[in-house]
A and B are shown apart, each in its own frame.
Chain A
Amino acid sequence: MMDRKKTLAAIARHVTDADIVLPVYSTAFDWIDIRPNPLNYLSHGAMGLASSHALGLALGRPDKKVIVLDGDGSLLMNLGTLVSTAEAAPKNLFHFVCENGTYEANGGHPIPGRGAVSFAGMARSAGYKSVYEFSDLKIFEQQVGAILAEQGPVFVCLKIVSSGDQERDYSRLHGPHVRKAFKDALGAG
């Protein structure tokens, strides 16, 4: 299992200022401190829809790399996204899932199928041609750069554990100033 903050830091080393990143819930609170940038797309409602927002962004801005940092509980709420994204096949979309086996933002209760479900297997069956799974941070650090240089859509399952308590100020994700900053930054380039 990989520490989430260290795992996200490994991704951040290969993310440019021009890339769009959609981190979800607990991952989002870690990510916005690791990579503060107006092109972090943070307002994606609830119920697992971040990856679908990402598909819209990827279709609308094929010149931009779009990276989703999803959660396992979130993906379970929107499994159809794997099929829809594989069908649309945007070359610029990278779907990472942080698997910790819990609904961490809602009390840490276990997800159904914890430890039994294969998210990588589901992505492969949905039609993703490029699918990875990592539980060793050193191996992930060695490979993440090459993965982000691939042609999408790419799916990556990351077996992680929480890095500890977080201060969750949801206005940092859902406030109107967040969407305005994103829109302005995307419009500028």
Chain B
Amino acid sequence: MEMLASASAGVASRAVAGLSGESIIREIKASGIQFVISVPDITTSEGLLRPLAKLTDPGLIRICKEDEGVAICAGLSFTGKRGLLLIQQTGLLDSINAIRGNAVEYQLPICMMVGLLEKEVGVMPRQSKRYGVRIVEPILEAMGIDYHNVEEQGDVTKIRPAIDTAYADSKPVVLLIGQRPS
């Protein structure tokens, strides 16, 4: 796997391995996800959403706005079928009230995979020069939502236990995708 590093001046970066979209999809399927609900995100567009769109399992539900997806996942959670909301952090931020009510206060297993638009590769989200990136983790912490950074290949193993735990404990989880999967 090719090693990548951020060249952004003034931002501490580390060399990180690339990220395989195929392996992420394998983990999504192994997690029992039957529906992926998505608004396109540029970070995950080619490596995840486009190959997912070619599959019949999990089914892909294209939606107009991310808060719809929070509610669709909530409805699905009562039926015993697992959903995964695949979005960008801009949509996560736009959906905070829906997540607050439906995921946190109702204690439902809303699982979100969130591409971090404009995050520098090799830079942790909190250290990003981009305001829209570095606020994401503190907001999730303020809301009491578990999250996991998935930035390099070794992080892919976090996906299945994160989703299983969300369903076992009936609580939301966010998987932050830190670079474009191949």
Query: Which residues on A are within 8 Å of B, measured CB to CB?
Result: 41, 43-47, 49-50, 52-61, 78, 80-81, 83-84, 87-88, 176, 179, 182-183, 186-187
Contacts and interface: CB of A to CB of B under 8 A. Distances in A.
Given A49-B67, A60-B75, 12 more contacts: A44-B74, A45-B106, A47-B67, A50-B71, A53-B74, A56-B71, A56-B72, A57-B79, A61-B79, A84-B64, A176-B107, A186-B78
A53 B72 contact: yes
Given A55-B72, A60-B78, A49 B98 contact: yes
B73 interface: yes
B147 to A, nearest CB: 21
Contact of A52 (B35, B71, B77, B107): B71
A59 B35 contact: yes
A87 B69 CA distance: 14
B102 interface: yes
B75 A53 contact: yes
A49 B70 contact: yes
Interface string B82-106: 0100000000000001100110001
Interface of A (DSSP majority class): helix
Contacts of A83: 64
Interface of B: 35, 59, 61-65, 67-81, 83, 97-98, 101-102, 106-107
Contact of B68 (A43, A46, A81): A81
A59 B68 contact: no
Contacts of B68: 49, 52, 55, 78, 80-81, 84
B85 to A, nearest CB: 11
Most buried by A among B70, B72, B74: B72
A49 B63 CA distance: 13
Contacts of A45: 71, 74, 97-98, 101-102, 106
B61 A88 contact: yes
Nearest to B60: A88
B80 A187 contact: yes
A186 B73 CA distance: 16
A94 B175 CA distance: 33
A53 B71 contact: yes
21 contacts: A44-B71, A47-B97, A47-B98, A50-B71, A52-B67, A52-B68, A52-B71, A56-B72, A56-B83, A59-B59, A59-B75, A59-B79, A59-B81, A60-B35, A60-B79, A60-B80, A78-B67, A80-B65, A84-B63, A183-B78, A186-B79
A55 B59 CA distance: 14
Contact of A46 (B35, B78, B83, B97): B97
A54 B75 contact: yes
A165 to B, nearest CB: 26
